[in-house]
Chains A and B, each alone.
Chain A
Amino acid sequence: MLPAADPAAPAALPSSAVSRREFLVQSGMVSCAVVFAVSACKPAGAPAVSSLNPGPLAANIWVTLYSDSTIEIITPGIELGQGAMTVLPRMVAEELDAEWSQVRVIAAPADEKRFGNPLFWDMQLTAGSRTTLGYFDAMRIAGAQARYVLMLAAAKHWGVPLEQLETDSSTVLHASTGRHIRYAELIDKAEVPAAFPAFISPGDKPQLVDDFFGEPPPSPLKPDPKVSGAIALKPKERYKLLGKDTPRLDIPSKTNGTAQYGIDVQLPGMLYAMVDTGPVQGGEPERIEDSHARAVPDIVEIVKLPYGVAVVGRSIFAVRAARQALKIVWKPGAKVRTYDSDKTLADFARIAADPARNPGVRAFKLGEESETAAAFDRPGSLSSPHTIEQFEIQSELIYHAPLEPQNATVRIAEDGKSAECWVGTQWPKLEQDYVAKVLGLKAEDIKLNTLYPGGSYGRRQEPGAIADAAAIAQQVHKPVKVLWTREDDLKRNPFRQAMVCRAEAAVAPDGRILATRHRVVADSWFARMFPDFFDQYNKSDPGNWVGGLHLYDVPLQTVDNVTVRREVAVCYLRGVGVTQTKFAQECLIDLIARRLGKDPLSYRLQMLQASPRAIRVLEAVADMADWRRPRAPRALGVAYVPYSNSHAALIAEVSVDRSNGAIRVHRVWCAVDCGFALQPAILASQMEGGIVQGLSMALFERVTLKHGEVQQSNFHDYRLLRMSEAPEIEIKVLSTDNAVTGSAEIGVMPIAPAVNNAVATLIGAPLKRLPMLPEDVLNALKG
């Protein structure tokens, strides 16, 4: 439950979304496959305007051209700071041959039918490193369709065949006669055809099967160049916008205070509210003493909610003061009171160590399962001799810590039949659903205005303050802005799952790995929020276990996932469980190399012979870091992560202060291959940010609970990495001709194991906990 008593949780998935697709997790399959019905693949958009419509020309749902030369492009991905509002429209503009300076970008409304991500189960959810790749085909087709409309108009206007026309810089050209006409001049001549021709892109490499999402749905781009009348998209060699850096469109407003975040919304007559939810998640107020609070001038109402008490007033000052004056007695016996962080991880470790009693779900297997089991449980049973190497890590809960705390503004119409909301979110539809549920309305009656989110990292995949705001607005009949303080935000946050991951390898004397076995024990976001998804993954959470898959040349592999439902709400955080499982796996690889007396980078190259993209990033990063040059008294550590068909290799230069146990990361090099790099500089900044965030989580961040109470309350005791702790980072973007893949999370994943592998060199053994605290270093040094 959200906090358990929140009114709107768990969210029911729209049944149509579920029925349209079929998830298969079969133990007999080599890979976990998520199979889609063909209907999940939709065209870029039906024509929205029929014909000869004066005024703007809507070529399709994505592109509208105006006579003042403005070209309006809808961006379906939410700008989280990752560049979505720049990158996606550039795909359209490229195929449209639009003059980039004429492009105006409009955020798509919440409308999954039209704007859902084809590679994200048609959901309009900006997450999972899926936005760029998910919309690449649809957006290019959108641009190509708009271009086709304009070329049709020009062909008719000049009386020449369409095939003789070209386009460039928002202009249609007829080379043989030297004629040219600007797009803006064609608007009143253009007719949108009833149907568009097929578009093909013969040079594209197809999207590969994804560990999490399975088989991609068929692309709306026809693969066969012989489709009659088909129009070919541009080959990459002719790109003018894609692959070429451009300033992000959102940045100027983020340097002068004009960027509007959810927290900046002010409506006429708006009230302010804060909600006290007590000392633990899932509490319930028993008795409220609010006479002092009500006496504060400008306080309008004290609203009792099932899970807290809202103070509502005409000014933020009044609300702050009244909240101080409020006295609440909480019902004893909140379920979360049994939760203790140390005990939880100890429980998880016991479960991980006891596959007989806690087998969990076999999420992935390669080769004969019985042989894999035998390799570990009956050493000597395999034909070749081997030793078992094992590395088990424990990882604490983590707070997403967006710098903008959760907030939302809701205004209910006077007749109560509709509502309008303002919020920063990654998933507008889910916010709509929550509000609809609270207000007893339909989702289509809820108008959602999305604003810039001040930090997301997965947190804004699930609603926060909007459920409060809807419930309060319903009581006070006025627009309400609900603001969580930092303390509220930390306490009410659904955290990144605590996890124990045990990684094992059966290693032959010559260094070959014969088998790997991973056991991942954690609570699950899917199980809490989306039981249907959880069930469709055979009661497992792919976010927790996909990191157990790897590309090392190992014939026998299993990944098991034990989901332990606990009382504290958990939620995916950028990097999902992969950050944690790769910490176990990549440190295990180093352990093996160390045991064999091999260089860990060379050993990886040797074990990744079948994966040329892995080899390439590893060789590139070795060059960048000058891997073989000794760094004493510092040390280098390396890690390699494949994730959603992107590949990253990272080297960290690390020192350890033996007097106080502090780990310091001085420099980081990272080579990344996300296929064709659409905007290399934006990709590099995603990697840079991911690495810094990953390092912050690796060295400092943890949420601990005692008797259900979160022990941290604000940034003085929930430690984020600061500038002095930020290493110098060098990124190399290897743009390849592979299918476009994502970069949002893969920066987060390799930094922790790379740092730990360097620490192991410095102190003799790797650390086994995330975060890697000075006390762990000191304990390890004591032996």
Chain B
Amino acid sequence: MATFQLNGKTVDASDVPEDAPLLWVIREHFKLSGTKFGCGRGACGACTVHLNGGAIRSCVVPVRAVAGQQITTIEGLAPNSDHPLQRAWIIEQVPQCGYCQSGQIMQAAALLRQTPHPTDEQIVAAMEGNLCRCGTYQRIKRAIKRVASEA
């Protein structure tokens, strides 16, 4: 294990144990703290990042598994944080405490990348693993649909 792509830049993770969860490597070693720790077992979605464009739970992926691959975090989702979903999240005033929202946005971005015009059922199916304790689901759904309808 040596390097992987983190938000488009090659990074060297040889200082951290190979089995270290990617989440902690991103947060504590590379100091990108937008990706959150919630459960440590892939059960809440707060740590969602992209592996080659697809959503993964970084808390259960060992860093060795992403060697040579492309990882994108909320910080790297779009230049100037102006991904259509990020704009929609602001227009719909989605977050409350906000802690789960990086994961929610990354999950939604992976969905729209694959399915630009998802049905309600597809949205729910894709977002089902991302918990929001503040109960913002309705606004999350609305923001995703806003982007889907604009695309």
Residues A241-274 near B (CB distance < 8 A)? 247-248, 250-261, 263-264, 266, 272
Residues B22-44 near A (CB distance < 8 A)? 24, 27-29, 31-41, 43-44
B101 within 8 A of A: yes
| Given A256-B81, A316-B28: A403 in contact with B97 (beta carbons within 8 A) | yes
| Given A723-B137, A723-B140, A726-B135: A247 in contact with B97 (beta carbons within 8 A) | no
Residues of B close to A253: CB separation below 8 A:
98
Residues A290-344 near B (CB distance < 8 A)? 315-317, 320-321
Residues B81-115 near A (CB distance < 8 A)? 81, 86, 89-90, 93-102, 105
Cβ B90 vs Cβ A251 within 8 A: yes
Cβ B93 vs Cβ A251 within 8 A: yes
| Given A317-B24, A405-B37, A456-B97: A81 in contact with B124 (beta carbons within 8 A) | no
Proximity bits, A214-254, B CB within 8 Å = 1, else 0: 00000000000000000000000000000000011011111
Residues of A close to B123: CB separation below 8 A:
723
| Given A266-B28, A724-B124: A248 in contact with B137 (beta carbons within 8 A) | no
Contact of B73 among A82, A254, A257, A259 (CB under 8 A): A257
Min distance, Cβ A417 to any Cβ of chain B, angstroms:
30
Proximity bits, B111-138, A CB within 8 Å = 1, else 0: 0000000000001110111111111111
Residue of B nearest to A246 (CB): B93
Residues of B close to A728: CB separation below 8 A:
138
| Given A258-B34, A317-B17: A729 in contact with B95 (beta carbons within 8 A) | no
Most buried by B among A258, A453, A486, A729: A486
Cβ B86 vs Cβ A256 within 8 A: yes
| Given A257-B73, A317-B17, A720-B131: A402 in contact with B97 (beta carbons within 8 A) | yes
Residue of B nearest to A79 (CB): B97
Cα-based distance from A260 to B34 in the complex (angstroms): 8
Residues A444-461 near B (CB distance < 8 A)? 452-457
Cα-based distance from A81 to B95 in the complex (angstroms): 7
Min distance, Cβ B80 to any Cβ of chain A, angstroms:
9
How many residue pairs link A and B with beta carbons under 8 A? The number is 175
A771 within 8 A of B: no
Cβ A255 vs Cβ B93 within 8 A: no
Cα-based distance from A501 to B44 in the complex (angstroms): 33
Cβ A454 vs Cβ B98 within 8 A: yes
Cα-based distance from A722 to B124 in the complex (angstroms): 9
A169 within 8 A of B: no
Cβ A256 vs Cβ B37 within 8 A: no
Most buried by A among B17, B39, B41: B39
B11 within 8 A of A: no
Cβ A81 vs Cβ B97 within 8 A: yes
Residues A167-186 near B (CB distance < 8 A)? none
Residues of A close to B86: CB separation below 8 A:
255-256
Counting contact residues on chain B (CB < 8 A from A), the size range is: 35 or more
Residues of A close to B130: CB separation below 8 A:
723
Cα-based distance from A257 to B20 in the complex (angstroms): 22
Residues of B close to A452: CB separation below 8 A:
97-99
Cα-based distance from A258 to B80 in the complex (angstroms): 12
Contact of A688 among B29, B36, B102, B138 (CB under 8 A): B138
A690 within 8 A of B: yes
Residue of B nearest to A724 (CB): B124
Min distance, Cβ B125 to any Cβ of chain A, angstroms:
8
Cβ B138 vs Cβ A726 within 8 A: yes
Min distance, Cβ B58 to any Cβ of chain A, angstroms:
13
Cβ A689 vs Cβ B35 within 8 A: no
Min distance, Cβ B141 to any Cβ of chain A, angstroms:
7
Most buried by A among B123, B131, B138: B138
A625 within 8 A of B: no
Cβ B135 vs Cβ A264 within 8 A: no
A716 within 8 A of B: yes
| Given A264-B33, A720-B133: A715 in contact with B39 (beta carbons within 8 A) | yes
Most buried by B among A250, A255, A483: A255
Cβ B28 vs Cβ A255 within 8 A: no
Cβ B133 vs Cβ A457 within 8 A: yes
Residues of B close to A251: CB separation below 8 A:
89-90, 93-95, 98
B146 within 8 A of A: no
Counting contact residues on chain A (CB < 8 A from B), the size range is: 35 or more
| Given A403-B133, A723-B127: A454 in contact with B97 (beta carbons within 8 A) | yes
Cα-based distance from A728 to B138 in the complex (angstroms): 7
Cβ A486 vs Cβ B38 within 8 A: yes
Cα-based distance from A254 to B34 in the complex (angstroms): 9
Cβ B137 vs Cβ A714 within 8 A: no
Residues of B close to A723: CB separation below 8 A:
123-124, 127-128, 130, 137, 140-141
Residues of A close to B124: CB separation below 8 A:
723-724
Cβ A696 vs Cβ B135 within 8 A: yes
Contact of A263 among B37, B41, B137 (CB under 8 A): B37
Proximity bits, A721-747, B CB within 8 Å = 1, else 0: 111101011000000000000000000
Cα-based distance from A696 to B132 in the complex (angstroms): 11
Cα-based distance from A729 to B36 in the complex (angstroms): 28
Cβ A689 vs Cβ B135 within 8 A: yes
Min distance, Cβ A435 to any Cβ of chain B, angstroms:
23
A401 within 8 A of B: yes
Residues of B close to A682: CB separation below 8 A:
93
Residue of A nearest to B44 (CB): A715
Cα-based distance from A18 to B51 in the complex (angstroms): 56
Residues of B close to A485: CB separation below 8 A:
40
Cα-based distance from A468 to B46 in the complex (angstroms): 25
Cα-based distance from A254 to B40 in the complex (angstroms): 21
Cβ B135 vs Cβ A688 within 8 A: yes
Cα-based distance from A716 to B42 in the complex (angstroms): 9
B6 within 8 A of A: no
Cα-based distance from A681 to B31 in the complex (angstroms): 35
Cα-based distance from A681 to B34 in the complex (angstroms): 26
Contact of B101 among A254, A260, A264, A696 (CB under 8 A): A254
Contact of B93 among A402, A685, A722 (CB under 8 A): A685
Residues of A close to B96: CB separation below 8 A:
80-82, 685, 689
Cβ A321 vs Cβ B17 within 8 A: yes
A670 within 8 A of B: no
Cβ A81 vs Cβ B134 within 8 A: yes
Cβ A257 vs Cβ B35 within 8 A: yes
Cβ A716 vs Cβ B33 within 8 A: no
Residues of B close to A721: CB separation below 8 A:
135
B16 within 8 A of A: yes
Contact of A255 among B73, B90, B135 (CB under 8 A): B90
Proximity bits, A17-37, B CB within 8 Å = 1, else 0: 000000000000000000000
Residue of B nearest to A318 (CB): B17
Contact of B39 among A316, A483, A714 (CB under 8 A): A714
Cα-based distance from A457 to B96 in the complex (angstroms): 12
Min distance, Cβ B147 to any Cβ of chain A, angstroms:
13
Cβ B139 vs Cβ A726 within 8 A: no
Cβ B33 vs Cβ A257 within 8 A: yes
Min distance, Cβ B66 to any Cβ of chain A, angstroms:
16
Cα-based distance from A431 to B119 in the complex (angstroms): 47
Residues of B close to A455: CB separation below 8 A:
97, 99, 133-134
Most buried by B among A259, A403, A453: A403
Residues A387-440 near B (CB distance < 8 A)? 401-405
Residue of A nearest to B106 (CB): A257
A469 within 8 A of B: no
Residues of B close to A254: CB separation below 8 A:
95, 98, 101
Most buried by A among B89, B94, B97: B97
In the assembled complex, 5 residue pairs joining A and B whose CB atoms fall closer than 8 Å, in A order, are A251-B90, A320-B24, A455-B134, A487-B40, A690-B135
Q: Given contact pairs A264-B27, A692-B138, enumerate 10 new A-B contacts (beta carbons under 8 Å).
A: A81-B96, A82-B96, A257-B35, A317-B17, A320-B24, A455-B134, A486-B39, A690-B135, A724-B124, A726-B137
Q: Give the 9 A-B CB pairs with smallest separation, nearest first.
A: A257-B34, A692-B135, A454-B99, A254-B98, A81-B96, A256-B81, A81-B97, A257-B74, A264-B33
Query: Residues on B close to A: CB < 8 A?
Result: 16-17, 20, 24, 27-29, 31-41, 43-44, 46, 73-75, 81, 86, 89-90, 93-102, 105, 123-125, 127-141
